[in-house]
Amino acid sequence: MLKNTIIALTLLSLSLTASAEGEVGAGFGSLSKSFDDNDISFNLIYISVAYNLENSEGNYFIMPEVRVYRGMNEESVYAYNKDTIVELETFISISIRAQYDFSNGAYAYVRPSFSNFTGKLDYSGLRDPGKIWELGIGAGLGYNINKNISLEASFEKYDDTDLLSVGFKYAF
């Protein structure tokens, strides 16, 4: 239900803009977190959908974006006096990105995000699912290879969790 509401609100907000350009993207990320005196790291793949809202000057952009990450590994840690397996299943992030385009094809951006992390803890044969909502802030750099394709790298911080990602975007 929550996913459908988020998607509907995003599509509604995007449809209300007259001068906009759509983007889709994909990439790879690495999420690092300290967990009960253990450092854990998850490899992620992601897809994204965004709308580029142009302004009259043309160098500054506001971009609502939805990213969906999928965990590719699980980590084994010693927590709660037990061997515990930690798994990050999905990670959905909604952000508003402020971007500045330089004249040479490069761009820089910042983005506050509201994200949902869904995962599981497995200890002593018990599985404990959980969801966490977090506010985060991130920044990144990108380069437009041509009018439609760009590459980018970003860093985001969610409380004590770091996300480093690289990916590409296709504008249409």
Per-domain boundaries in the chain: 2-171
pLDDT for 141-162, tens place per residue? Answer: 999 999 999 999 999 999 889 9
Beta-carbon contacts of 75 under 8 Å, excluding residues fewer than 6 positions away, are 38, 40, 41, 42, 85, 86, 87
Distance CA 18, CA 98 (A): 18
Each residue of 94-112: pLDDT tens digit? 999 999 999 999 999 999 9
Angle 30-133-171 from CA coordinates, rounded to 5°:
55
CATH number attached to the domain at 2-171: 2.40.160.20
The reported pTM is 0.81
